[in-house]
């Protein structure tokens, strides 16, 4: 331990990030952790324990690292998925600290599997970035929109120079006075793609600025929209737009869920539909974000995108057989390469689902993960709605740690 450097850290003579330039990564982590320990008076017994590759993580995923936070990992399933990309039985890794969540998801998986599995289909796939420009007036704004429409192929070629796999699909303009928002949408294959589309759009912007009398105000103008509640994502989609459904038989609902199709349908109608509408919610579901967050954390996804996953709409309709159940996610940004997907534990969880790394052909693993995620969220919706219908929610949380 370099006591002199430690003292400089504590006295703020050297910043936390500067020591990475003078000592190797493991030593830098230890020095920062020791400095924080002495500055706060807290002895750390847990955050220094981890198994991932420090060199890779500190270069790609984290700054000023002092350790790692462990999140308990549970398993639900098997969940049978009948998708275009995901076919078979899957064990769903869920990282959470919420008691009863994994048990609930597991019960939903069991009900779905007993009824032949959940269908899953992808309807749209496009990651967005929307820079905002200022024109001189609305005449200049219209001129920019016309230019973009006439020069889409050039923008596509310029953006394509920055990425091997990304491909510009469309540029949709939105005008407010002399502010012009251009919503670029890309196919990003197996990457979730936010960094990819940011870099590609930045390159395309250079052509726009060179040939138009406008000023770039921000590369992201919040019409994208990432990591914030936004109706545009619920309507137009961002990332993967995916749905899953299943018909639960009356017998399975009685046996496994301890309630009836009629009660579940009414809970969904009055809670997920009327209740959400009355509250002005963008999502019409029971707890889609719960399953999405646990799966995202386990599989190295950007956890902030749970905001967008929460736009899910859950429907339940009575049928002759029992109950038709579906979940639709208009905006599900997921990927199997890049970000946190390469970290050891997260890569193992992706491997458990058969989606680690790039797919063959490219893009198939991310699409497979989207279908599995939708089916897992459907399992969570079914179980919670049933628990509410049977008035078992409080009992389950009391028994399983809440």
Task: Give strand pairing partners of 245.
Answer: 119, 326
98 in active site:
yes
Q: How does DSSP classify residue 342? A: G
Phi, psi of 69 (to 5 degrees): -105, 125
- Angle of helix 288-298 relative to helix 101-114, nearest 10 degrees, comes to 100
Which of 276, 335, 280 minimizes the C-alpha distance to 305?
A: 335
CB atoms within 10 A of CB 254: 13
- Rounded Cα distance between 74 and 295, Å, is 10
Question: Which is nearest to 335 in space by CA: 295, 307, 375?
Answer: 295
Cα–Cα distance, 35 to 232 (Å, whole number) = 45
Tokens 């458990």 belong to residue: 352
Contacts within 8 Å (CB) and 24+ apart, 315-322: 315/268, 316/264, 316/265, 316/268, 316/269, 316/385, 317/265, 318/261, 318/262, 318/265, 319/247, 321/247, 321/249, 321/250, 322/247, 322/248, 322/249, 322/250, 322/251, 322/252, 322/253, 322/261
Beta bridge mates, 120? 83, 244
Residues pairing with 308 in the sheet: none
Q: At 94, which helix (H) or strand (E)?
A: strand 87-95
Q: Is 132 left (phi over 0), alpha (psi -120 to 50) or beta?
A: beta
CA pair distance 82, 109, nearest whole angstrom:
13
Q: Determine which one of 30, 38, 48, 98 is catalytic.
A: 98
38 tagged catalytic: no
Alpha-carbon span 143 to 138, nearest angstrom: 8
Q: Which of 245, 302, 308, 371 is catalytic?
A: 302
How far out from the chain centre does Cα 397 lie? 26
| Per annotation, catalytic residue among 53, 172, 202, 397 | 397
What gap in Å lies between CA 343 and CA 57, rounded to an integer?
Answer: 7
**DSSP structure class, residue 401:** T
Looking up tokens 């796999």 gives 165
Report helix angle 152-160 to 138-150, nearest 10: 70
Active site residue 202: no
Please give the positions annotated as active site: 98, 302, 397
């Amino acid at each position: 331990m370099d006591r002199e450097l430690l003292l400089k850290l504590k006295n703020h003579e050297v910043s936390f990030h500067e020591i990475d330039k003078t000592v190797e990564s493991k030593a830098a982590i230890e020095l920062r952790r020791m400095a924080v320990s002495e500055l706060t008076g807290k002895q750390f017994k847990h955050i220094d324990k981890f198994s991932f590759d420090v060199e890779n993580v500190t270069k790609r995923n984290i700054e000023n690292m002092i350790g790692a936070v462990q999140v308990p990992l549970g398993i639900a399933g098997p969940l049978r998925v009948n998708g275009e990309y995901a076919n078979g039985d899957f064990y769903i890794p869920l990282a959470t600290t919420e008691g009863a969540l994994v048990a609930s998801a597991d019960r939903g998986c069991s009900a779905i599997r007993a009824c032949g599995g959940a269908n899953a289909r992808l309807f749209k796939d496009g990651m967005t970035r929307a820079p905002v420009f200022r024109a001189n007036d609305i005449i200049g704004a219209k001129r920019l929109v016309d230019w973009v429409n006439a020069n889409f192929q050039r923008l596509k070629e310029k953006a394509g120079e920055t990425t091997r796999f990304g491909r510009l699909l469309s540029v949709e303009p939105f005008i407010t006075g002399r502010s012009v928002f251009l919503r670029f949408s890309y196919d990003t294959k197996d990457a979730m793609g936010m960094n990819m589309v940011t870099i590609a759009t930045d390159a395309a912007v250079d052509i726009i600025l060179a040939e138009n009398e406008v000023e770039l105000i921000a590369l992201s103008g919040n019409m994208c929209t990432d990591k914030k509640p936004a109706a545009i994502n619920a309507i137009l989609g961002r990332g993967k737009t995916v749905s899953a459904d299943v018909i639960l038989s009356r017998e399975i609902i009685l046996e496994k869920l301890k309630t009836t199709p009629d009660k579940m349908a009414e809970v969904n109608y009055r809670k997920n539909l009327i209740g959400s509408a009355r509250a002005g919610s963008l999502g019409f579901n029971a707890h889609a974000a719960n399953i999405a967050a646990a799966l995202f954390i386990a599989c190295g996804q950007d956890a902030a995108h749970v905001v967008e996953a929460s736009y899910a709409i859950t429907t339940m309709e009575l049928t002759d057989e029992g109950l038709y159940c579906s979940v639709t996610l208009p905006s599900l940004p997921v990927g199997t390469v890049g970000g946190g997907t390469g970290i050891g534990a997260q890569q193992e969880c992706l491997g458990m689902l058969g989606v680690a790394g790039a797919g063959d052909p490219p893009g198939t693993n991310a699409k497979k993960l989207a279908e599995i995620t939708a089916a897992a969220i459907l399992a969570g919706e079914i179980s919670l709605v049933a628990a509410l219908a049977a008035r078992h929610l409080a009992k389950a949380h009391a028994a399983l740690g809440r």
